[in-house]
Amino acid sequence: MPSATEDQYNVENESTHSADREADGQEIAIFTTPWAWDAAGIAVPTSMAITASDTITYITSHKSAQYSYPVTSSHKTTSTTTTRRQKARYGLDSQDVNGYTFTQKDAQGDDQGAPTMIARRRITDSRYNAEPNACDQWDGADGNAANIGADLRPPDSLPPGAPHSELWDTQQPPSYGSNRARCQRAVQYVDQANRMGLRTYITFYPTSANPRRNDYVRSAIRMMEAKPFNTVKRWGATNEPDGIPMPVSKATAIYRALRSRSSSRDKKFGNKVPCPKCSIVAGEFAHASPKHIDYAKSYMQMLSNRKVRPANWAFHDYADVTYQHYHPNHTGYPQVRKFVKELREAYPNRRPRILISEAGVVLNNFNGRTKVWQKPAAQREAARRFLALRDKSNQISLVAYYSWFGSPGPQGFDPAFVNPPDPFAKDPDGTPAERKFRPAYCVIADVSAGVCDQQSGE
């Protein structure tokens, strides 16, 4: 490529990327400055002008001096890449970090599990829910400035002999619900996802309905600054604020504060930006059902009124996947349709990205067994509906399957692909339980139906 042409390409490319950053999800057209060269490589003057309401005129002044012909001129017309229709990516969520590497041989001796699913379905993203204050004692959020920006990675992820955080200084495994255990699991998630080349995404899980904003945001910022969390570039401000429910004013205040502080220099962090080039996701609503949509509308309108324009919004869509099959009077994907409608009404001239950050084939929820329990055909259909979610709006950029492995026992929330879903399940002899793959796994992983239990539906 001639140097002049290469320079022009670089300028046009940078113009496009700059417009993408500034557009923040808004649909805009990009017309780059025209250029021209004669046969001898001499630059020829060019100009552009809007000559009518629907006309842009480009002019190459090839008669303004003596030039060698032919004269080549060009310009680039495109649109912000955020508005082009692109296939949404699939993501995989496992609240038990071991789920990302779990494998089990099938009857033919082939490995089945997360690595197979990731490879066959080309899964690129991962996600995890973490309490913002889980690591306070080790990342400086408790006031110990010496820990700000600490390296919290486990000893086996560090060079031999390198000092490690006291987060890992314990003789016995910490109790499951302790902050030490919660922080360790969050660190292990990021460490494992990075090793596997999966994009990381953490959503902060409020531990109360009305947390103190400053405490919440300080904890979140300190976590972002610590290693390996500094590699995470997508963060959800509050998980399911409508489900708690958290006051809308508090949820939006946390979002605004977190977005501002994550991109502003922090004096206590060496005057560095806590999370450069990060995206703070708005919403993360439980779902778009009638009883929740009013909350989402208020949240959207409150941010819109303040001229806050998030580039990424998220909601959880189990209804369109698991339950829509049992509403014959409803067609399509009404939860997606409602969410897109409300978002467009709040931001009529913008097209922000939508992340369906949780979805799945739910066999058990907190109210008991669902209608797909013991119905293999219904579970297969629900899995196909999950795969189709990404085609339901060109604003959807991610569809993530929630907690495919490691769901709690029969009284918990269970969209797992394996049975038993409990990660601690044991056989009578005390060894880890042999798991059966459920019908949804074969659909999502795109493997032979014979790999899965197609009989019991449990």
- Residues 270 and 213: their CA atoms lie apart, in Å, by 23
- Residues 242 and 95: their CA atoms lie apart, in Å, by 21
- Residues 98 and 104: their CA atoms lie apart, in Å, by 13
pLDDT higher than threshold 70 for residue 311: yes
pLDDT higher than threshold 60 for residue 380: yes
pLDDT higher than threshold 50 for residue 3: no
Most confident option among 13-22, 299-308, 366-375: 299-308
pLDDT given for residue 326 in this prediction: 59
pLDDT higher than threshold 60 for residue 26: no
pLDDT higher than threshold 60 for residue 11: no
* Rounded mean pLDDT, 139-158: 96
What does DSSP say about strands 29-31 and 55-60: parallel, antiparallel, or unpaired? unpaired
**Angle, CA 155 vertex, CA 154 and CA 157 arms, to 5°:** 70
Reported as a pLDDT band with limits 50, 70 and 90, residue 25 is very low
Token pair recorded at residue 115 = 């690595």
Token pair recorded at residue 410 = 């029969």
- Sole residue written with tokens 């806050």: 308
pLDDT higher than threshold 60 for residue 425: yes
Homologous superfamily in CATH for domain 87-451 = Glycosidases (3.20.20.80)
DSSP state letters, 181-243: HHHHHHHHHHHHHHHHTPBP-EEE--SSSS--HHHHHHHHHHHHHSBTGGG--EEES-S-TTT
pLDDT given for residue 17 in this prediction: 53
The residue that leads in pLDDT, 299 or 58, is 299
Helix and strand tally (H, E) in the chain? 10, 20
Q: Which residues pair with 314 in a beta bridge?
A: 283, 355
pLDDT given for residue 296 in this prediction: 95
pLDDT given for residue 66 in this prediction: 87
pLDDT higher than threshold 80 for residue 281: yes
Where, residue-wise, is CATH 3.20.20.80 in the chain? 87-451
* Rounded mean pLDDT, 22-44: 72
What does DSSP say about strands 55-60 and 46-52: parallel, antiparallel, or unpaired? antiparallel
- Sole residue written with tokens 């993408």: 20
Lowest pLDDT segment from 35-39, 118-122, 352-356: 35-39
* pLDDT tens profile 220-243: 999 999 999 999 999 999 999 999
* Rounded mean pLDDT, 262-274: 96
Residue 311 burial (CB count, 10 A):
18
Listed residue (317, 314, 185) closest to 241, CA to CA: 314
* Rounded mean pLDDT, 145-160: 95
pLDDT given for residue 87 in this prediction: 79
pLDDT higher than threshold 60 for residue 419: yes
Mean pLDDT of the chain: 88
pLDDT given for residue 67 in this prediction: 87
* pLDDT tens profile 93-138: 988 888 999 999 998 999 999 999 999 999 999 999 999 999 999 9
Reported as a pLDDT band with limits 50, 70 and 90, residue 24 is very low
* pLDDT tens profile 163-207: 999 999 988 889 989 999 999 999 999 999 999 999 999 999 999
- Residues 441 and 128: their CA atoms lie apart, in Å, by 20
* Rounded mean pLDDT, 284-303: 88
Q: What pTM, to 2 d.p., does this model score?
A: 0.81
pLDDT given for residue 153 in this prediction: 97
How many Cα neighbours within 13 Å face the side chain of 446? 10
Reported as a pLDDT band with limits 50, 70 and 90, residue 440 is very high
Q: Indicate the SS3 state at residue 404.
A: coil
